[in-house]
Amino acid sequence: MLSQQIINALSQGAFYALFAAGLTLIFGVLDLLNMAHGAVFMWGAMLSWYLMSTLGLHFGFALLITIVFCGLMGLLLEHTAFRPLRGRSTGHLPPLVSSLALSIVLVHVAEKIFGTRVVRYPDNAVPFASYVEMGDAQVSMLHLVLMVVALVLMGALWYMVARTRLGRSIRALQENPKVARLMGVDVDRTIAWMFVIASVLAGIAGVFLGVAYNSASPYMGHWVDLKGFAVIILGGMGSIPGALLGGLLIAFAEIGTVVFLSSDYRDAAVFVVLMGMLLLKPSGLLGSSREVRA
């Protein structure tokens, strides 16, 4: 049974990591918490459900359309909740509130369009529905695919930041936005791209989570937001490998609690781990400590 639990934890961890990757990208560079990340994630799940069930589209097409849609949603998010505040020296709170406001709007619109109840994906539309036996563990192909997709996407994200032109702009921005602008980095454009990328990742996470657990609702973003923040704090804010590590650590903490302690303490255990990390290494597992200099 332990092998089954390890598989359970790995697939859960992969999902947390995928969700948190976009959050950590924005936070690491802009020092901003994007409270609407969970809402975009929810739209990914709900829209793909709508495309697959009501319009009867194939999973692949639904995924593609959802990716485009969530990318555009990232653009909208950046233009409405973050860009107008960027020129003003407003501090951290206004963007936090404006993105929270937008997330509430997005949830309400979803309620109107998709209804308020939990929806299930049509049986025949779910891809990779087979199972493989690994020892005494039953592993869903879909969960394996989710793990691979999460790894590949996070690898690609890391490569993008570390090796590409856009990545160089992002890193310059992280170093010092003013200097980056003087050096010819198109700051607005770079930030807009970051939101597009982050939102696409959230959307993909939404599609896969919805399909993997066959469940989606307009309110599914709330709990994921909270877990996502825990993941990036644990892994080190702004670190992409940190998000992967943080996601896995939280999943193992959750499932370890169920196995060795009691399912009653599952959520509490996550936040105990989190607080322990804050006491021992406030910058997180892989985060670089940013000291405040006079």
Partner 1 sequence: MFLRHPSPSSIGFKRTGRVSTLLAVILLAGVTVLPAAAQDTITTAKLGAVYAFSGPVAIYSTTIKNGLDMAVSELNAKGDLKIDLLLEDDRSTKDDAINVYQKFIQRDQALLIFGPLIGGQVFAAGPLAQRAKVPVMLTSVATPGVTGIGDYIFRTSVESATIIPATVKAAKEQLRTARVAQIYTNDDQFSVGEFKAYEAALKANGIQIAGAETVRTGDVDFSAQLTKIKAMNVDTLVVSSQGQEAVGIMTQARKLGLDKVRFIGGNAFNAAGVVKEAGAAMEGALSATPWFLAMEHPKNVEFVKKYREKYKSDPDWLAAQTYDALYLVKQALVAAKIGKSDSVAVARGKLRDSLAAIKTFDGVLGKIEFDDKRDPRVAGAVIKVEAGKQVLAK
Residues that bind partner 1 (CB under 8 A): 1, 4-5, 8-9, 12, 116-118, 120, 123, 131, 138, 140, 209, 213-215, 217, 219-220, 222-223, 254-255, 258-259, 262-264, 266-267
Of the two residues 220 and 277, which places its CB atom closer to partner 1 in the complex? 220
Q: Report, in Å, the least distance between residue 113 CB and partner 1.
A: 15
Report how far residue 292's alpha carbon sits from residue 143's, in angstroms, rounded to the nearest whole number: 42
Of the two residues 35 and 212, which places its CB atom closer to partner 1 in the complex? 212
Nearest to 63 by CA among 205, 166, 253: 205
Q: Report, in Å, the least distance between residue 5 CB and partner 1.
A: 5
Q: Report, in Å, the least distance between residue 208 CB and partner 1.
A: 12
Of the two residues 2 and 162, which places its CB atom closer to partner 1 in the complex? 2
Of the two residues 20 and 237, which places its CB atom closer to partner 1 in the complex? 20
Q: Report, in Å, the least distance between residue 39 CB and partner 1.
A: 15
Q: Report, in Å, the least distance between residue 137 CB and partner 1.
A: 8
Residue that is written with structure tokens 């170093």 in the block: 175
Strand partners, 137: 134
23 is written with which tokens?
Answer: 């959050």
Of the two residues 30 and 231, which places its CB atom closer to partner 1 in the complex? 231
